[in-house]
Amino acid sequence: MKKILTILMALTLALSLSVPAYAESDYDTPIEITWMIPTQQSISLGESVPTQILLEKFNIQVNWIELNPVDQHPEKLNLLLASQQLPDVVSWVDKDFAARYGDEGAFLEITPYLASNFPNLSVVVNEESSAYYSAYTLDDQLWYIPIWERTSGPNWGWSINKEAFEEVGYPVESLNTFADYKAALEALKAAYPDSYPLAARASEYDISNFLSSFIIPFTKGMANYSVMGFDYEQKTWSVAANISGYKEALMYINELYTEGLLDPEFLTCDMNTLILMLANDQAFATVDYVGGLSGVGDVQSQVNDVLYPIEWPSPSVDEESIMGTKAIALGSTGTVLSANIMDDPEKFERVCAMLDYMYSDEWYDILYNNSDILTDDGTTYVEGYYVDSDNLRDLYIPWALYACFQDDPLRVDVEPGTAWSDFSIKWGNEWTDRLVDNIIMPFDTDTQTEINDLTNSVQDYWSANVMQFVIGRTDFSEWDTFVEGLMNAGGTQLEQIYNDFYQELYGD
């Protein structure tokens, strides 16, 4: 008897050890789905710990279609739409795309099922009511399951060689305004005459991102790289180049360029060249994508760990002004369900339950508070997040699962106490009094198409002419002619459309 009991207990123990902690499935019958999701993983998404927990909980087997989010994903999605063989679930779709093809019958409208099948998401939508139109269409239709960005901040910012700046008498604390930065760059140029203190790699990223890092603070958040900007004082929309501070931003960059403070080859510079310049004291600062996964944080070790990310707020016109707009908490992209999923009610119910679960606090803990990688002070430390051991990061915090549902990038930190960690923690979390609300303009499909056509024309003209001012080929005395050209290219019609719509939706 004792022997039998011992064997039974041993078997029970062995069985319990073989089953992961959360793996008690709520469902007996497995189902199979196809899920198209953007990933930048070094291992298959299915091998990640949170993924396994999720799929075991709901007893779902997934045929993954994993694609690079930048080019492969949209191309493949178009092919699948054309072939009418959509996967059951497609993540990383923007609202306009979802609404357009949802209207045509490709995707399932979520609105009728929100309360019944998505209780967690319903709570989120209610909490983020100010972002209603970022997820809903003007006709109050919800065509996708929107991303919930719990925290957010600027993706682009200044990174400097802290030691070099201190060497010339400009410690980090002294760098607040653009005037401070220029003075520091001038001091660096004097100390290192063969250098170009500020470098950038505009050949790899659209020049718009580089310019936005100046335009946004100079216009006090009224404009960025987009064609249109919103004057929150006048409550009017106008072509961005017309907004106060836009020209001044370009003039500032022009000064840096003509005085030899900005690398004259920044328009053709790539990451490898940038790394060499930063590592060899040929440059001491850059304005770049600060995040991991192809940002300067990723290449820290390659520049001999000299880079120090400037915390938010980065340089501004003065120390009090508005720095930009708050991120929209809901719906920059989302997940759609194929309309065909309704052919299998059980599959539909299960998938909804799974996707809704990903907005719960329990899922948040699984993703962001995994005890295997939690530090003593409660932060998530993924060793070598930026540089080494991609596998470890992808194993515990797969980008696709947090970037497509409950997105809290501030939880995904590097080693606590490092400059990058400090940056991540403060990234958009503090100084929110220097941000204004984003104005959401939920145009209908036809209006959006008209806007896109006009924007393309204006954008073409802008792209061909704006850099002429920056490098001094066109004098700023011809700025009005440039703005007139933008208006003639479609800016006038755009202003009309935007202001009419704004008045109709938000007017007194």
Partner 1 sequence: MLKKHRNKNLGRAKLLYIMLLFPVVWYILICYVPMFGIAIAFQKYSVYKGVFGSEWVGLQNFRKFLNDAYFWQVLRNTFLLGFFNLLINFPLPIILALMFNELSSGPYKRVTQTISYLPYFVSTVALVSIITSILSPSRGVVNAIIESLGGTPISFMLEPDWFRPIYILLSAWRGTGWGTIIYLAAMAGINPELYQVAEIDGAGRFRRIWNITLPSIAPTITILFLLAIPGILGADFETVLLLQKPLTLNVSDVMATYVYRRGLQDQKFDYATAVSLTFSIISMLIIFVSNTIARRKGDVSLW
Binding site residues, partner 1, CB under 8 A? 74, 78, 81-82, 84, 101, 104-106, 207, 264-265, 267-268, 452-453, 456-457, 460-461, 463-464, 466-468, 471, 473, 489
Q: Which is nearer to partner 1, 188 or 419 (CB)?
A: 188
Distances (CA, A) of 133 to 139, 332, 441: 10, 11, 7
CB of residue 471 to partner 1, shortest distance in Å: 7
Q: Are 171 and 195 in contact (CB under 8 A)?
A: no
Measured over the CA atoms of residue 354, residue 359, residue 360 and residue 363, the dihedral's sign is positive
CB of residue 431 to partner 1, shortest distance in Å: 32
Q: Which is nearer to partner 1, 187 or 207 (CB)?
A: 207
**Parallel, antiparallel or unpaired: strands 330-337 and 285-289:** unpaired
CB of residue 312 to partner 1, shortest distance in Å: 28
Spatial distance between the Cα atoms of 408 and 428, rounded to a whole number of angstroms: 11
CB of residue 491 to partner 1, shortest distance in Å: 14
CB of residue 486 to partner 1, shortest distance in Å: 12
CB within 8 Å of 246: residues ≥ 6 apart = 215, 218, 219, 223, 229, 240
Q: Which is nearer to partner 1, 162 or 201 (CB)?
A: 201
Q: Which residue in this structure is represented by tokens 């979520």?
A: 110
Which amino acid makes up residue 483?
V
Q: Which is nearer to partner 1, 28 or 446 (CB)?
A: 446
Q: Which is nearer to partner 1, 109 or 356 (CB)?
A: 109
CB of residue 12 to partner 1, shortest distance in Å: 53
What phi and psi values does residue 286 have, to the nearest 5 degrees?
-145, 155
Q: Which is nearer to partner 1, 156 or 381 (CB)?
A: 156
Spatial distance between the Cα atoms of 96 and 456, rounded to a whole number of angstroms: 17
Q: Per this entry, what is the length of the chain?
A: 508
CB of residue 340 to partner 1, shortest distance in Å: 12
Which amino acid makes up residue 474?
T
CB of residue 236 to partner 1, shortest distance in Å: 27
Q: Which letter, b or e, does each residue of 77-109 get, where b requires 16 or more Cβ atoms within 10 Å of its Cβ?
A: beebbeeeebbbbbbbbebbbbbbbbeeebbbb
Q: Which is nearer to partner 1, 44 or 85 (CB)?
A: 85
**Parallel, antiparallel or unpaired: strands 236-239 and 406-407:** unpaired
Q: Which is nearer to partner 1, 349 or 450 (CB)?
A: 450
